[in-house]
Amino acid sequence: MTCIIGLVEDDKVYLGGDSAGVDGNWNVTLRADKKVFKRDGYLIGFTTSYRMGQVLQYMATLPTPPDPSTLSDTDRLDWLMEFMVVEFVESIRKAFDKAGYTKIENSREEGGQFLVGVNGRLFCIGSDFQVGESMAGFDAVGSGATYAIGAMAVSRRKPINRIKQALAVAEQFNAGVRGPFIVVHG
């Protein structure tokens, strides 16, 4: 239970997240460890599991993000998606497996859901490791995602205020979302 929101504005990525840790009985702990962070040229915001977030933040060997200045705009779009699908996701799959986090059922691997900002673009990594990119310029994951996406769609505030407002809307309507809200950008 959580809400992570990502926004791209002026080729800059912003990620915001709440601080709730919710167990299976809906008990809430406000966590000091953050769900959104910067690491090795990436912005990452996770849901699903704090263990997964710890693997992403401290254990995964992340590939060096590509340098977009060496590519044309057309090549950059296709090349960056390919990089995320092939190199980035593969590094995450290996880290999850090594940390004992990957769930395998019926020969299908499953991880968790998180947002990644890199090179001015925002990607959503699904629990089946698929890579998505919203045409809206923003995305959200977690139990409060639907409320956050609606709030983002109608807000015209500056990026950090827009994200905090959307997180507040998610908190108001979803029992698994709680402040304080943290926003990182780069």
| pTM value > 0.75 | yes
Phi, psi of 10 (to 5 degrees): 55, 45
On whether residue 49 sits in a domain, the answer given is yes
On whether residue 50 sits in a domain, the answer given is yes
Length of the chain (residues): 186
Q: Can you give the pLDDT of all 186 residues of the chain as single tens digits?
A: 899 999 999 999 999 999 999 988 889 999 999 999 999 999 999 999 999 999 999 999 999 987 777 776 666 668 899 999 999 999 999 999 999 998 888 878 889 999 999 999 999 999 999 999 999 999 999 999 999 999 999 999 999 999 999 999 999 999 999 999 999 999
pLDDT of residue 14: 98
Cα angle for residues 19, 154, 144 (degrees, 5° grid): 30
Single out the residue of 12, 11, 15 nearest to residue 3, CA to CA. Answer: 15
On whether residue 87 sits in a domain, the answer given is yes
pLDDT of residue 104: 84
pLDDT of residue 74: 67
pLDDT of residue 65: 84
Phi, psi of 121 (to 5 degrees): -130, 155
CATH (domain of 92): 3.60.20.10
Torsion angle, alpha carbons of 135, 138, 141, 144, to 10: -120
pLDDT of residue 122: 98
On whether residue 68 sits in a domain, the answer given is no
pLDDT of residue 75: 65
pLDDT of residue 79: 87
Q: How many Cβ atoms are within 10 Å of 160's Cβ, its own excluded?
A: 15
CB contact set of 77 (below 8 Å; sequence gap of 6+): none
On whether residue 48 sits in a domain, the answer given is yes
pLDDT of residue 105: 83
Residue 96 identity? F
Single out the residue of 65, 69, 17 nearest to residue 39, CA to CA. Answer: 65
Q: Are 80 and 68 in contact (CB under 8 A)?
A: yes
On whether residue 115 sits in a domain, the answer given is yes
What is the end-to-end Cα distance of the chain in Å, rounded? 25
Number of structural domains the chain divides into: 1
On whether residue 67 sits in a domain, the answer given is no
Give residue 106's domain range: 4-22+31-61+73-185
